[in-house]
Amino acid sequence: MTNQETIVAAKKVFTNYLEKHGHRRTNERFSVLEEIYLLNDHFDVESLFVHMKSKSYRISRATLYNTIELLLECDLITRHQFGKNLALFERSYAYKQHDHLICQDCEHIFEFCDPRIQQIQSMMGDILRFDVAAHALHLFGHCRELKDKGVCKHHKG
Instruction: Express each pLDDT in 93-143 by its tens digit.
Output: 877 677 878 888 887 878 777 888 888 888 999 999 999 877 778 788 888
pTM of the predicted model as reported, rounded to 2 decimal places: 0.70
Question: What pLDDT, on the 0 to 100 scale, is given for residue 147?
Answer: 67
Report pLDDT for 142: 87
Pick among 2.60.40.1220, 3.90.870.10, 3.40.50.10190, 3.30.1490.190: CATH of 97-157 = 3.30.1490.190
Separation CA 21–CA 70 (nearest Å) = 10
Q: Which residues of 13-47 are buried (b: 16+ CB within 10 A; e: fewer)?
A: bbeebbeeeeeeeeebbbbbbebbbeeeebbebee
Which one is the CATH code of 1-95: 1.10.630.10, 1.10.540.10, 1.10.3720.10, 1.10.10.10?
A: 1.10.10.10
* pLDDT tens by residue, 107-120: 787 877 788 888 88
The residue ranges of every structural domain in the chain are 1-95, 97-157
